Amino acid sequence: GAVVSQHPSRVICKSGTSVKIECRSLDFQATTMFWYRQFPKQSLMLMATSNEGSKATYEQGVEKDKFLINHASLTLSTLTVTSAHPEDSSFYICSARLLADTQYFGPGTRLTVL
Amino acid sequence: DAKTTQPTSMDCAEGRAANLPCNHSTISGNEYVYWYRQIHSQGPQYIIHGLKNNETNEMASLIITEDRKSSTLILPHATLRDTAVYYCIVRVRDAGNMLTFGGGTRLMVKP
């Protein structure tokens, strides 16, 4: 099946710093990737839709200036959490759309902001 | 996307079939039923999807009622590794359409 990777798998950073998370589709090209966030014992919440070569579409309540998304190629999307704070600590998951009907998810990145 | 209702949690004995129900009474004609699962601290994993016919793959079977208002995901021989949260999602099969996750069913497979 299609494989999506994320890097890093875990990151711990100090409050006020920025963190970049990479999402790669390893064996297919993805014109659309999605970024989700999951807090403990909660379901996944969509943050934004990332389209190759264009600006990302953010869900209501998600600050686009805080969560910078870049989808520069058909196999790579990045999420940068700028000026991270402890409340940004979460499990960040990306997915890539292979066909119109199937999304494949990355393994997730656990961000801890001290 | 149509709303889905799933039990919060279920238990299943190892080696037995796990039957996970999902109600989607407001599903429209062009919406598919998708199932994903999420093992603890991992990304969701696609399992199966269908429109109106029953579907089977190497992971599971999907049974959709004739009126399409409910469906059941069947894991024929559950193992401990099948312990996860299972999400039933109904959505239009459309380019760019994201997945909306509800609460899911937490399946605990017990020895």
Q: What is the pLDDT of residues A39-95, one digit of tens each?
A: 998 999 999 998 888 889 999 999 999 999 998 888 999 999 999 999 999 999 999
What distance in Å separates the CA atoms of residue B100 and residue B106, rounded to the nearest whole number?
Answer: 17
| The predicted structure's pLDDT at residue A1 | 66
Nearest residue of A to residue B106, measured between CA atoms: A41
Of A99-108, B2-11, B24-33, the range with the lowest mean pLDDT is A99-108
Indicate whether A37 pLDDT > 90: yes
Indicate whether B102 pLDDT > 60: yes
Average pLDDT over residues B82-93: 92
Which residues, at least 6 apart from B29, have a Cβ–Cβ distance to it below 8 Å? none
Using DSSP, state whether B85 is helix, strand or coil: strand
Using DSSP, state whether A87 is helix, strand or coil: helix
Task: Provide the mean pLDDT of chain A.
Answer: 92
CA atoms within 13 A on the CB side of B107: 29
| The predicted structure's pLDDT at residue A113 | 97
Which residues, at least 6 apart from B35, have a Cβ–Cβ distance to it below 8 Å? B20, B22, B47, B48, B49, B60, B62, B73, B86, B87, B88, B89
Indicate whether A28 pLDDT > 70: yes
| The predicted structure's pLDDT at residue A111 | 97
| CB-based contact A69:A62 (threshold 8 Å) | no
B95 at the A interface (CB within 8 A)? yes
What distance in Å separates the CA atoms of residue B111 and residue B103, rounded to the nearest whole number?
Answer: 25
Average pLDDT over residues A1-8: 90
B58 at the A interface (CB within 8 A)? no
Indicate whether B95 pLDDT > 60: no
Q: Which of B10, B28, B104, B36 lies closest to B69, judged by CA?
A: B28
Share of chain B above pLDDT 70, in %: 95
| CB-based contact A106:A6 (threshold 8 Å) | yes
Whether B96 sits inside 8 A of A110 (CB atoms) is no
Q: Which of B80, B81, B58, B62 lies closest to B71, judged by CA?
A: B62
Q: Which of A31, A32, A90, A42 lies closest to A66, judged by CA?
A: A90
| The predicted structure's pLDDT at residue A25 | 92
Query: Using 50, 70 and 90 to split pLDDT, how confident is the model at B98?
Result: confident
Test mutation, A6, A47, A54, A101, chain B, max B CBs within 10 A: A101
